[in-house]
Structure 1
């Protein structure tokens, strides 16, 4: 049994998923499995996974469901059940992890807490330009390499350049609260099961936050690692982001806050 299960969500983005899976093959900490939470991708994704299973040095479990619109919460719950480790990291199939990504989560795990990481958003031209070699050499985390490709200079660049004391300082003073972020968070499987996983009524927009709010209500604290647990986020369109879905999600989140709910009746256990 692996020490860590990494759940990677995906939907019809095999080119991006391949880059992410190569990123996990470069990890300095190796005792993990990957569980791909696939919300109904076509055969190209399955073919990619079958091919890459032969090329990487970690176990891959592919959990797939029929395409029935945006059902990310449902497939995440299925992936949680399929995972075999006591500790779970969750990320997305468009986020390439830096080589220390799993190790940082593993070292910082602590009873009674979950970890909230960050991401660095890349523009489309750089997202496309990243090759397997750039991932192996970690060029896509090298600020000078990214600037050569046209990356603008902003404060967010600290996410890629901060090390040691500076990254710990920025983690402490970042104005963003340490919520559960679907692209980069981790927690104990027992805690995830204790709140019954994700609320499957939730559509795109805040579904991960709602899950985190129930973890808080359960008594967990969160640990901010935005500048230590680093991944770069590849660009893509968001066709499933609708005002109706966001409004519906806000109603559910409001109720969770008011009732201080811990359990969802629309989660893993029905």
Structure 2
């Protein structure tokens, strides 16, 4: 997404001591939904879902404490209520894709920052930046598209999948199995930091998040066509700064908009059902 990428803020330090090295296993983190997300994912066991969620909760609390100390946490009460109300409607639909998400300790806050940014950590820790609201001026439907997209990343455990792929590719599972103690923790911690801070989401992850996020929005009663208008606004804001598609790991805005138009049409009956039609 160029400068408008929805960055994921995360630190791997404390998590490294809880990681377990093992082989890859094929898993399906979510149900396919109406949009048909059925790709099998490969998780190496380098980090468990539980450990990742625990670390995410710690980092989220730390970030909130820092924002609170700086006077940047939920500073606009009306804006915060708006974001939280939209998020709660989306969260209520997460069980369509992943029933166990109902037990996640979901949290939603607004950070007073000019970045056009939003993210959802593993386990449902959500933040929306005021810059996204102030600079894009999104409708509720468009804001639902943003938050739904980020929730979808968490439901699909894209962060854990990236770590698994990173470690398997760069170090090799046979090498990892031979590394023990503090060296293993350091290697794994470095990989997590790289994934969370540096590497963008893959095209596949972005497409899946678009598809699931749009369906979540439609089921929650938000017009799925707003995902299209949202990215039109994104493209206008970032015009001239985005790299050519072949140089990016993300779909170009035009490609993304075309795909979202197809998805919106696909899930429109779900939205219409919520409108009593």
Q: Work out whether the TM-score is over 0.5.
A: no
- When you count strand as a share of all residues, which structure comes out higher? 1
Give the TM-score of the pair, scaled to structure 1: 0.29
Give the TM-score of the pair, scaled to structure 2: 0.29
